[in-house]
């Protein structure tokens, strides 16, 4: 399944928007970028490595040579790219459960978007506008974004211990080591192969 590499799923979707609605969407994104609490939910869901929205205006499709025919489009297009952990169903369920309002604010400007709840209609819409990936690469296929963050925390803790513990007595080190283990004890999950469809 080329949409998945390791534990990450590549979702690509394209939706049409009436041109006059595009600036409204841009304003929303501007606010999202500036008002951190709006992003908090996204961060707390913690299953997206990277995601982006790209507006391609109707005259914005690249034209690079005369041999290439000119585009003649009515709509602007909203491209969506997500790199997430978990199954397709899980991903959409989670958004519909906790971020329905935010999703609606992004996609309500796209034609024929049903609301994100109830979720079944939303899933049908996404399936309609989703492209399958022809090639997907990840530098760390066995790591989810949770694993990446945990790994960096462990690294930082280890470095601190390594520096401070260098010259300690065994007794002192024993105590420092216990503090170290307590510090990293939630971040030691293995990074093996994930379940099917994940």
Among 19, 23, 59, 189, the residue binding another protein under the rule CB under 8 A is: 189
Residue 50 is a binding residue for another protein (CB under 8 A): yes
Min. distance of Cβ 88 from another protein in angstroms? Answer: 12
Task: Report in angstroms how near the CB of residue 161 gets to another protein at its nearest.
Answer: 8
DSSP annotation string for 24-48: HHHHHHHHHHH-HHHHHHHHHH--E
Residue count at the site for another protein (CB under 8 A)? Answer: 126
Return phi, psi of residue 8, to 5°.
Answer: -120, 140
Which residues does residue 11 pair with via DSSP β-bridges, in sequence order?
Answer: 82
- Residue found by looking up tokens 């024993």 in the block: 174
Structure tokens belonging to residue 46? 């913690």
Residues 113-152 that bind another protein (CB under 8 A): 117-120, 125, 128-129, 131-152
**Strand, helix or coil at 83?**
strand
Segment holding 118, helix H or strand E: none
User: Which residues between 71 and 110 bind another protein (CB under 8 A)?
Assistant: 71-75, 77, 79, 81, 83, 85-87, 89-90, 93-94, 96-98, 110
Kindly state the smallest distance separating residue 23's Cβ from another protein, in Å: 11
Do 126 and 49 meet the contact criterion of CB atoms below 8 Å apart? no
Separation of alpha carbons 83 and 198, rounded Å: 12
26 is a site residue for another protein (CB under 8 A): yes
Token representation of residue 185? 């004890």
The nearest distance, CB 128 to another protein, in angstroms, is 6
In the complex, minimum distance from the CB of residue 115 to another protein, in angstroms, rounded to a whole number: 10
Looking at beta carbons only, is 25 or 103 nearer to another protein?
Answer: 25
Q: Does 14 bind another protein (CB under 8 A)?
A: yes
């Amino acid at each position: 399944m080329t949409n998945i590499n390791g534990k990450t799923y590549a979702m690509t979707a394209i939706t049409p928007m009436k041109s006059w609605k595009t600036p409204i969407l841009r304003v929303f994104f501007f606010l999202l970028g500036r008002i951190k609490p709006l992003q908090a939910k996204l961060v707390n869901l913690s299953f997206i490595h990277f995601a982006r929205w790209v507006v391609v205006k109707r005259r914005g499709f690249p034209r690079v040579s005369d041999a290439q025919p000119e585009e003649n489009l009515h709509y602007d297009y909203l491209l969506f790219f997500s790199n997430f952990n978990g199954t397709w169903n899980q991903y959409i369920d989670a958004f519909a459960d906790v971020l329905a309002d935010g999703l609606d604010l992004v996609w309500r400007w796209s034609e024929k978007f049903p609301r994100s709840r109830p979720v079944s209609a939303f899933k049908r819409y996404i399936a309609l506008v989703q492209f399958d990936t022809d090639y997907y690469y990840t530098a760390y296929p066995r790591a989810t974004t949770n694993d990446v963050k945990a790994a960096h925390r462990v690294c930082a803790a280890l470095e601190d211990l390594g520096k401070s513990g260098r010259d300690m007595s065994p007794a002192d080190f024993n105590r420092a080591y216990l503090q170290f283990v307590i510090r990293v004890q939630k971040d030691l999950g293995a990074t093996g192969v994930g379940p099917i469809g994940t």
